Amino acid sequence: MATPLNKHYPDGRPYFRPPAVEAAIDELLGQDFATACRRAAITDRDSREFVPSEALVHLIRDARRRNDEASMDVLLPILLRRCESNLRTKVSSDLPNAEYIREEILGLFSELFAADGAGSNPDQLDFFEAHFNQAFQGLRIDIVRQEERKTLNRTYLPLPDEYEDDSNVDESVLKYFQTAPNQESTLGLIEALQMLPPDERRAVELCHILGYDEESEDPNKRTAATICGVTGRTIRNRLKRAAARLSSYKE
């Protein structure tokens, strides 16, 4: 039987799991680990063996309480893949830093498991065991709003006055991110990178720091374009604008 939750609603009632979640947890706890993992990986919600996300959270927390890192290493990525799929639809690719926001949300969610049972809010994951979709939505909205506020308050490097979309721009300045000659140059480039708009900064990070191709004819290859959910032409335009801004900064 699953351990009771500790958090309370504002009216004083203790958090509780829906009956279907309680039943799923009890069933999973009575099965061997291989079966639980197989079921956790099922994505078809209409399947009789589909595991509710609330129950999956409980399994991960239970493994952590038992210091069973091997089980956590299997189960947590399964849950994160579900969350990543959700964020692909819920965090609009129209946001200039959409991919960064998605990664930030997943990172913070993972940290909740690392901090579970400790700190100023040791039972924060109770909400995810009781109402996963509502809890994850709240986390997502908080991060999106934080990033939007940061974007509004940030000052970016300006584009040169004469710049136009069809301008010829020397993009050699971007290669410095791959081969900075010394530490001082590296620090200067990092400072400049933070002064780019999020979409341009992300394109530079992916292509000139992490080494991703701009695009590929192979539909299964992970590229800057597929990561950002845009076309290769859009990535090239972002890189060109970034180069134009950085060239003026370098001068």
Q: Note whether residue 76 is domain-resident.
A: yes
User: Is 132 in the same domain as 223?
Assistant: no
3-state secondary structure of 182: coil
Query: Does the residue 65 lie in any domain?
Result: yes
- Take residue 77 and report the two structure tokens written for it: 């990525």
**Do the domain assignments include residue 6?**
no
In this predicted structure, what is the pLDDT of residue 83? 95
Q: Which residue has the tokens 């140059």?
A: 185
Query: Do both 108 and 221 map to the same domain?
Result: no
pLDDT tens for each residue of the chain, 251 residues long: 788 999 998 899 999 999 999 999 999 999 999 999 999 999 999 999 999 999 999 999 999 999 998 999 999 999 999 999 999 999 988 776 788 889 889 988 998 998 898 878 889 999 999 999 999 999 999 998 888 777 666 677 788 877 776 677 878 878 776 654 444 444 456 677 878 887 888 888 888 888 889 999 988 888 988 888 788 999 999 999 888 888 876 55
The answer to the question of residue 221 being in a domain is yes
pTM above 0.75, yes or no: no
Q: Where are the alpha helices (DSSP H) in 14-68?
A: 19-29, 33-40, 53-65
Query: Is 232 a domain residue?
Result: yes
- Structural domain for 70, as ranges: 19-153
Q: 43 and 103: one domain?
A: yes
* Residues 29 and 60 occupy one common structural domain: yes
Residues 31 and 141 in one domain: yes
Q: Are residues 133 and 46 in the same domain?
A: yes
Residue 115 in 3-state DSSP?
coil
Residue 56 placed within a domain:
yes
Residues 187 and 100 in one domain: no
In the chain, the number of structural domains is: 2
Q: Determine the pLDDT at residue 249.
A: 66
Please report whether residue 215 resides in a domain: yes
CA dihedral 41, 43, 47, 50 (to 10 degrees): 50
Instruction: Judge if 191 and 132 occupy the same domain.
Output: no
